[in-house]
Amino acid sequence: MGSESSSSTYPRFISKVPYLPDATERQTLDICFPRPLSESPPSATVWIIFIHGGAWRDPLQDSSELLPALRALLGQPVALTRIAALASLNYRLSPYPSHPTHPSTPADPSRSACHPDHLSDVLAALRYLSRTYNVGDGGGGGGGGGGGGYRYVLVGHSCGATLAMQVVASEGGRHMLDGSGLRWPAAPPEEHASLPSAVVGLEGIYELRLFARTHASVPVYGDILRGAFGGDERALVNASPGGANVAPGAYTVEVWGEGKLVVLGHSAEDTLVEEEQMDDMFGRLRGEGWAEDEGSGNIGPRRERTVRRIWMKGSHDDVWMDGVQLAGVIEKVVDELIC
């Protein structure tokens, strides 16, 4: 997302910031500040935090995936007045030894991840932003947002959308258990990440077992899922943020009190991820009390917890590559949160 500005001019870009003391090259994030943070009051601005896609393993997809939308937003001064900063996260990838130009090796810790490693990294990045920039409740402790910190919108594309909803399910639904204990990363209460005010998931994958069955005849999908989650079907069930594995109540107001809006986007031209994935997550949220909004276009203060399905254009990656579509969704969500 560029390199750190050498002067006080804005917008200011900071790239490859490690969010862990012993970070690998993938445990970094990029930040763009439209103006000095001191001029962006938490009461009137929000952070945008982006999680890239790439099937949990593609080395050519990283935090730079936000760049096209960032360029579009930087050309809209009015939209930027409500955005305090934009951060784009990297995270460790799963093995991809057959990649044609950048094959992974077992010796590379940044490309040997298996669930819940990807999610652990995203949560570590969110805790870093909370400690460093007061994003969330200001103290890194999820659940109330009462610390006067910045609200944030968590945006994900493809498996990044999966990770965005896993953040909510794992941090909000910390009571999720199976016979062997906690399914997803556990941390002391003081280290939990704050939850977002809104989630935007584009071309997301929310029910992994359905995803595996739908694409069972295409070997590459099996390779992707085995690399990211192991070979056990139960692992797919346990990791699905839209599935029955998530304990009842994980997305309710009692657990995710900060949540105001979820936008689930899909393109009919996407040949990699099926529409049923969006429908699955939509149904889960509706079942937990979220109001249905099919995108009427009305903009106003977002007081009601609403889930909305929207239709994108183009192929699986077009929705972020053209920049304009993603920027438009971000702009509208920000307007609704703080209008």
Q: State the Cα–Cα distance between residues 35 and 11, nearest whole angstrom.
A: 6
Cis-peptide, bond into residue 11, ω within 30° of zero = yes
User: Alpha helix (H) ranges present in the chain?
Assistant: 67-74, 77-80, 117-133, 159-172, 208-214, 219-229, 233-239, 275-287, 318-321, 324-338
Catalytic residue, chosen from 63, 88, 94, 158, is 158
Q: State the Cα–Cα distance between residues 291 and 236, nearest whole angstrom.
A: 28
Number of CB atoms found within 10 A of residue 31's CB: 23
Catalytic residue, chosen from 52, 115, 266, 316, is 316
Would you call 270 a catalytic residue per the annotation? yes
Beta bridge partners of 264: 201, 309
End-to-end CA distance of the chain: give it in Å, rounded.
28
**Crossing angle of helices 117-133 and 159-172, rounded to 10°:** 70
Annotated catalytic residues are: 158, 270, 316
